[in-house]
Amino acid sequence: MSKAHKREKQPELVRRSLLDHAARCAVEEGLARLTLQTVAEAASVTKGGLLHHFPSKQALIEAVFEDMLGRLDEEIERLTAEDGIEKGRFTRAYIDAFFQVTRDGPKSPWAALAISSMTDAGLRALWSDWMSERLERHAATDSHPAFKLARYAADGIWLANLTEANGIPAEELAGLRDQLKHMTQTD
């Protein structure tokens, strides 16, 4: 009997491996060049095994995007819980979380997925729904126009960092982050 037949099935571990390898492949080869076969081989599963979890390339890409949104959400929730000032708490956490992603630049799986979300209606809808839910949840503390401006600016800085040939220098990013967080300290 081969190892494949003896191996216990662990669908959640296989799914996790597929998501991680798909994200890595998207960074290394670009989302347009990502193939199901490449992801399956990287995760050491058959293409049929991959298709069991994700019926299409689009389903895989959307699952990776949702997974990354989940991770972003966890980080924002962690940062929010650590912030002792209620007003603007979500916005400050959002800024910090996005500046962590910004420092990774084009090597971040966010790079391939976020750029693709500009042209992919499905990814754009996932982002829009995710953001709408967070803004609704934090409306009492983060609806000030300056907070919205700070979040949009954080998004723009992240995108600008991707388009700069060598990225924005770390010290400049830190200064921009501090300026945006200062915008959340309004009365």
1 pLDDT exceeds 50?
Answer: no
pLDDT value, residue 29: 82
Query: What's the first-to-final CA gap in the chain, in angstroms?
Result: 70
Q: How far apart are CA 168 and CA 43, in angstroms?
A: 33
Long-range contacts of 33-39, Cβ-Cβ distance < 8 Å, separation of 24 or more: 34/61, 36/60
Residue 19 confidence (pLDDT) above 90: yes
160 compared with 141, residue with greater pLDDT: 141
pLDDT score for 187: 62
Average pLDDT of 43-50? 94
Q: Where are the chain's structural domains?
A: 8-55, 64-187
pTM of the prediction? 0.84
Question: Domain 8-55: which topology?
Answer: Arc Repressor Mutant, subunit A (1.10.10)
DSSP 94-145: HHHHHHHHHHHGGGSHHHHHHHHHTT-HHHHHHHHHHHHHHHHHTHHHH-SH
- pLDDT digits 0-9 by tens, 83-125: 999 999 999 999 999 888 777 766 777 777 777 788 889 999 9
pLDDT, tens only, 48-83: 999 999 999 999 999 999 998 998 899 999 999 999
Length of the chain, please?
A: 187
- As given in the structure block, the two tokens for residue 144 are 């000030």
Tokens at 142, concatenated: 């983060």
